[in-house]
A and B are shown apart, each in its own frame.
Chain A
């Protein structure tokens, strides 16, 4: 693979590229799912190819091919240079890359059990067991389960001399129970909605999730929601569970700090950002309790944003994003680092596969747990009147990332420190910085979980990427609740 990449770099240089990198990637995945006692999907997929990225005449070009014969790799490199020269016809400035020491390195994400060596039969049986637990609850009308594995191996080589071989394993699993009655459909998911929990782990994750043990409760909650009262409308103190807070971070911190959005590079599709460059180290993003980092390093945990090197050869880093409430950092790349006065990239460039150009992506954008010991139950007990919300059901935010609205699967009214009644259709909305400034409590390390968001979409052509979000349950003061159903 290394030789193939070297060939591509040679051709690019001969054709006039001032910089080139080549990435060969071998991607393998398995998807298993069930629905109401039947197989939903059972599929394996593999994809192997090369992507060549070059700068010529001061502009970018990228070409990718599934054909790894010598002739095709050379043609792909030549095509990338031709494309770069065409790009140069419409440019304002030449591309400048922040310096980076080229390295030779090998890295594999830690795992205990290679998921591809596990028995498909046993995996399907586990999913069917969960399915029957869910459907053993009267009133559950649809049960869905899934288990997903992925192995991504890549060889990165650059004209500056980088040579990096990385292999990453991802495992994900989850399930949902739906209950339809009268004129309403309710749903509960575990451990999270939209495919459950995902981490850069091996098969050991499946055991840790305690999937079967929770299935009956989830089925019962789905049915109970049909009879629950509707979440009221008004201003309330709300407590969000960790998975919902993870998605809140993703949408209202992770995306606005992407420097390519800030600089207008995503204006046509994903949008821009309210975090204009003047806000760095001046904006009070949240309350004193809000500390958020973007951390791709292995020591942060097995998140979907964990790696050793990004896809332009920059080592994984930890960037403080919000420090005691102050906005302190962006997600950057070699091309964009200079715009914030950084001498080096923050190391966040990633691509969906060999056939995509790497772009700025969230790594693990995580809120740090509170320092004082505080469990979720203690947080509820310390809340006089409020609403606890769990598991995301809908999410939406404007294209500058100010106004958001989230719906959750299940709510509980809290009165005098106790959960007094289940609430259906809970939702809340607000303006990003007002919301983060209203955070007045966050649980401590024992409640902190590194959640995975497997399906973040960005770029044209669109690329789907996994991101990590560590979070613990937290409380927000005086938040607008219930506007999703207002007027309907």
Chain B
């Protein structure tokens, strides 16, 4: 795997090939493997090694990017030239900033804990197969069929620029996702961690199996507004759709649901949201696509949207815009995407604060007269960008709750729910955990009990 010293040498060669005013190189390297199973069989089992260098050149207000996965001299020359060719023909953009300075980028931030674990990097195909074997035996013992993945990887990410900035991040990841299928029901669990020792695939398999067992012979109950208990994965998959709107550029482009709403109370008093790459349950590199160190930012305080995140260029534009007095503090926060791009920035290390009195899922069930317990949401898409209405389905373990007890499985619902409405109606919350779904990036979120959640249709299973 590429290390910072070798990447630094490659960057020097890139500089020598370039005639641009400024040069930046991003490095991404990965050594990853994923064992996939279905029908109680390992049916796909893959591994990949790849390393990419992405070069951005700039000539006074003009910038472009070219990327290659070949690091020999000729390829580096070619990629530099490709980037320069795309940059030189542009009309200059007066608002394009010089590249980030090394010293200004490395500001005091909370130390990010090590996210590299030797034991994760060292996992072999045999060890993954052994874990899958255990999951399959749990399925067989209960007459179920299982499908899922167990993956492990190590990766590096780095940035260098001609103003002397150089930063590097190394990390490992491991992930297990398990579906248990019965004749007319299913259950699901998923978890990930930089440290494979934190995963407990057997416990997850047992829980997924219990969900499949208890949701068997699902009954149809009518669509309508229900109190729902959303497990953390369900919460993360739905709330994830709003964070792209917390970037300053989304406001400048007037494509955000926060247009004219920063500083106003949009959610309940019990909603506090941070972006915090240094949080012990978070993952990822502590710098953004321009090499700016990621700041810890409070986005929502007691239901009020306090502030946005900014790439360097967006912060400058915002300071000169008509919105400058109505969007809270304006400064680069280290959330920019690699330039040039259309999206600007977004907070991607979301952490919800826990409530004063966290409830377990069992306690939420016990306090519910009529309601629906949701394991997972699926195929979520935005219906309305300003009211933030999202549609999607429940999946893999949906239950009817009555008089404080889980009664039986129910057929899956389609929802059409506004996030403004949902996050104003949170009655109880759990302790935030690192959760992982399929629709949004991983985050630290609690389970939530939400009143009047809007189910509009029922499907056939």
Contact = CB atoms under 8 A, between A and B. Distances in A.
Interface residues of A, number: 90
Contacts of A399: 378-379, 393, 395
A84 B460 contact: no
A43 interface: yes
Contact of B90 (A39, A60, A66): A39
Given A47-B69, A87-B129, A120-B85, A38 B34 contact: no
Nearest to B416: A484
A398 B49 contact: no
A141 interface: yes
B48 A264 contact: no
A488 B416 contact: yes
A184 B384 CA distance: 8
Interface SS, A side = mixed
Contacts of B417: 488
Contacts of A487: 225, 416, 454, 456
B69 A394 contact: no
A268 B179 contact: yes
Interface string B132-150: 1100100000000101110
B129 A86 contact: yes
A119 B50 CA distance: 31
B110 interface: no
Contact of B47 (A45, A46, A79): A79
Contacts of B229: none
A63 interface: yes
Given A39-B90, A403-B457, A460-B149, A62 B45 contact: yes
B382 A394 contact: yes
Given A267-B181, A483-B457, A488 B393 contact: no
Contacts of B186: 267
Interface string B377-391: 011111111110101
Contacts of B322: none
A-B pairs, 4 with minimum CB distance: A86-B125, A403-B459, A40-B342, A267-B147
14 contacts: A35-B342, A42-B65, A44-B79, A61-B125, A66-B70, A90-B132, A120-B89, A178-B253, A263-B38, A265-B38, A268-B148, A398-B393, A460-B177, A484-B383
Interface of A: 33, 35-36, 38-49, 59-67, 76, 79-80, 82-93, 119-121, 124, 128, 141-142, 144, 178, 180, 183-185, 187, 263-269, 271, 274, 355-357, 359, 393-400, 402-403, 405, 407, 425, 427, 429, 431, 460-461, 483-488
* Size band of the interface chain B makes with A: 35 or more
A397 B379 contact: yes
A48 B37 CA distance: 28
Contacts of A183: 386-387
Nearest to A429: B457
Among A35, A76, A83, A180, the one with the most B-chain Cβ atoms within 10 Å of its Cβ is A83
Contact of A403 (B124, B380, B393): B393
Among B45, B47, B66, B132, the one with the most A-chain Cβ atoms within 10 Å of its Cβ is B45
Contacts of B85: 120
A231 B380 CA distance: 22
Interface in B146-186: 147-149, 151, 177-179, 181, 186
A89 B45 contact: no
A461 B46 contact: yes
Contacts of B133: 89-90
A359 B43 CA distance: 11
A111 B389 CA distance: 42
B93 A39 contact: yes
Among A36, A87, A393, the one with the most B-chain Cβ atoms within 10 Å of its Cβ is A87
A398 B459 contact: yes
Interface string B12-48: 0000000000000000000011111111111111111
B65 A460 contact: no
A36 B133 CA distance: 54
A36 B253 contact: yes
A42 B87 contact: yes
Interface in B57-98: 63-70, 79, 82-83, 85-87, 89-91, 93, 95
Given A59-B42, A64-B48, A141 B147 contact: no
Given A268-B149, A425-B384, A487-B416, A460 B461 contact: no
A91 B379 contact: no
B89 A124 contact: yes
Contacts of B125: 61, 82-83, 85-87
A41 B341 contact: yes
A345 B70 CA distance: 35
A43 B86 contact: yes
B391 A460 contact: no
A43 B66 contact: yes
A268 B147 contact: yes
A411 to B, nearest CB: 14
B457 A91 contact: no
Nearest to B89: A121
B64 to A, nearest CB: 4
Contacts of A461: 32, 34, 46, 151
B272 to A, nearest CB: 25
A144 B126 contact: no
A90 B358 CA distance: 41
B254 A63 contact: no
